[in-house]
Amino acid sequence: MASRAGVLAVVVATALVSGCSAGSPERVGAGRTPSAPQESPAAPVAGETPEASGSGTPGPDRAVRPERARTLVQGLAVPWAIAFLPGGDALVTERDSARLLRVTPEGEAGTVGTIAGVSPESEGGLLGVAVSPTYDQDNYIFVYFTANQDNRIVRYRLRNDRLTDPVPILTGIPKAAIHNGGRLAFGPDGLLYATTGEVGDRPLAQDRASLAGKILRLTEDGAPAPGNPTAGSPVWSHGHRNVQGLAWDPRGRLYATEFGANTFDEINRIEKGANYGWPEVEGVGGDNRFTDPLVTWSTAEASPSGLAYGGGSLWAGALRGQRLWRVPVSADGSLGTPVPLFQEEYGRLRAVATAPDGSIWIATSNKDGRGAPAAADDRIIVLPAG
């Protein structure tokens, strides 16, 4: 769903992983294309004190500069998620190829390896990726993917651009051609959060015994985290249709994007044990059994996927809406009026992540079978901070 210009694409051979390719990653593609919508970024929230940078914690809370957007890497194939290593390089998943890429802030991109066992189908495939908050000590990374029988989370060690020691830490997450969830992120509490979809079987979102239609909270070994609403259960919140975006603000408040059906897409503030209403409610229901969203859009305006926090705002990538939504965050955690950026400029936007330097990285999803890819697609776009 979009338009653009010129490209450099390099075809890469990849090595199959139960470990992966060794040595330096193979070069994928790079390029820079300026873009200049003249939008003023939201100022940081007065009085906010950013916490230390980490997987689930914002880095420097400097103003983000959409007017300086640039293409960092191009010629990718359905990038789905972005997670940053301590040195500033990013790990990027490709949904259909099952490749795990490493991308530098200078635009060098290479293949670390191809994740074994991925079974791409429609919305399923290699989805989320997260980096351990103690990566410098354990070298752990985590991927969420669709396998033959289920969705699952697998932990690897990443050393010298080689993946080793695969350990499935959570299996049996329901799978389907649609609504597989798939986002992974570490929170400020050092625990792993995972989003799941209700796989088109709506009642599963309200079934506390099912892993579908939930946000999960886990240890690095995949065990239910201490302090979860129900002891022995990984479920943190329920009543979700299909969550694909998670972000924390500097005060540790968790927000999530959620796809609606035919009427309303949402941003929710996620609270321990809360029920977000699906399939009984879509959008604001005013029913005290359920937690209402803070922001809603029509599905034509959004279909929101990736979510990041930076410079006093949430940044939500829209697939069907073909735009980036900037949503100001107030000191009390309420959300201001969303502002659309890049409407139909880059097409479908999937992954959104905050880099250690405060910049926002965005990945397009125009080769996913629902977009209209340009020659440069798919690409990663950077909105610098400063």
- Structure confidence at residue 115 (pLDDT): 98
Model pLDDT, residue 382: 98
pLDDT, residue 165, reads: 98
Vertex 297 angle, CA 70 and 293, to 5°: 110
**What's the pTM value of the predicted model, to 2 decimals?**
0.88
- Tell me, what's the pLDDT at 38? 31
Residue 17 is predicted with a pLDDT of: 37
CA 299/CA 264 separation, integer angstroms: 6
Dihedral (Cα; 308, 314, 319, 321), 10-degree rounding: -170
In contact, 73 and 380? CB cutoff 8 Å: yes
pLDDT tens for the chain, residues 1 to 386 = 333 333 323 333 333 333 333 344 444 544 333 233 333 333 333 333 333 333 465 666 789 999 999 999 999 999 999 999 999 999 999 999 999 999 999 999 999 999 999 999 999 999 999 999 999 999 999 999 999 999 999 999 999 999 999 999 999 999 999 999 999 999 999 999 999 999 999 999 999 999 999 999 999 999 999 999 999 999 999 999 999 999 999 999 999 999 999 999 999 999 999 999 999 999 999 999 999 999 999 999 999 999 999 999 999 999 999 999 999 999 999 999 999 999 999 999 999 999 999 999 999 999 999 999 999 999 999 999 99
All domains of the chain, ordered by start, with CATH?
28-383 (2.120.10.30)
Paired tokens of 343 = 């409407």
Q: What was the pLDDT predicted at 2?
A: 36
- Look at residues 248, 119, 92, 99 and name the one whose alpha carbon lies nearest to residue 180: 119
- Residue 320 has a pLDDT of 98
How is the chain split among helix, strand and coil, in percent rounded to 5?
5, 40, 55
**Could you write out the DSSP letters of every residue in 179-227?**
-----EEE-TTS-EEEE-B-TT-GGGGG-TTSSTTEEEEE-TTSPBPTT
Is residue 14 within 8 Å of 113, Cβ to Cβ? Answer: yes
Neighbours of 364 (CB within 10 A): 32
Tokens 């051609």, located at residue? 177
Helix or strand (DSSP H, E) at 336? none
Alpha-carbon gap, residue 210 to 367, rounded angstroms: 32
Q: What is d(CA 135, CA 138) in angstroms, rounded to the nearest whole number?
A: 5
For 87, residues 6+ apart whose C-beta sits below 8 A from its C-beta are none
pLDDT at position 28 is 56
Between CA 90 and CA 77 the distance in angstroms is 16
Q: Is 47 exposed, middle or buried (0-12, 13-18, 19+ CB in 10 A)?
A: exposed
Separation of alpha carbons 17 and 197, rounded Å: 26
Strand 264-270 relative to strand 254-258, pairing: antiparallel
